[in-house]
Amino acid sequence: MLQKKLPIYVHRGKKGISPLIASVLVIGMVVVTASIVFFWGKGFTEEIIEKEGAVSQQRLNCATDVKINVLSESSGLLTIENAGSGRVDAFSLVVDGVAEEQIVSIEPGNTQQIASSVQPGQKVDIIPKIRIGAGVFQPCSSQKVTYKV
């Protein structure tokens, strides 16, 4: 069997890209890609730091500005006073291990009635919460109040 030789094409007079220009192009692409990643990463980390800073500030506010008192209970309504210097935006009421969320805002020095499912003889844990974003609340667990009905 005879093998047929394929012709070898030689491009006479045409030159390819020189190694120097190829190296410069590769280095340029690497620099551009690195700068894009750097600036994206910088913005991304700044955003995370800003969000975490806001959450940390709200946690500090929980410890220093939030204090509640339960004044009374009548027919499933708890009367709660905001005795702190910061606004309380919501509450978690925990009765027999079952939590129920109440979104009720109380300004400092004011009182508000909150509906609950607590029955006579039961204990209710009332955990105040402050708003840290749209629909996002930070529980102030250190300011929890336990009230026996």
Q: pTM for this structure? A: 0.63
Q: What is the mean pLDDT of residues 99-119?
A: 87
Predicted confidence (pLDDT) per residue in 36-81, tens digit: 999 888 888 888 887 777 777 777 777 788 888 888 888 888 899 9
Return the HEC string of the chain.
Answer: CCCCCCCCCCCCCCCCCCHHHHHHHHHHHHHHHHHHHHHHHHHHHHHHHHHHHHHHHHHHHHHHHCCEEEEEEECCEEEEEECCCCCECEEEEEECCEEEEECCCECCCCEEEEECCCCCCCEEEEEEEEEEECCEEEECHHHCEEEEC
What domains can be seen in the chain, in order of their start residue? 17-149 (2.60.40.10)
Predicted confidence (pLDDT) per residue in 2-12, tens digit: 666 666 665 66
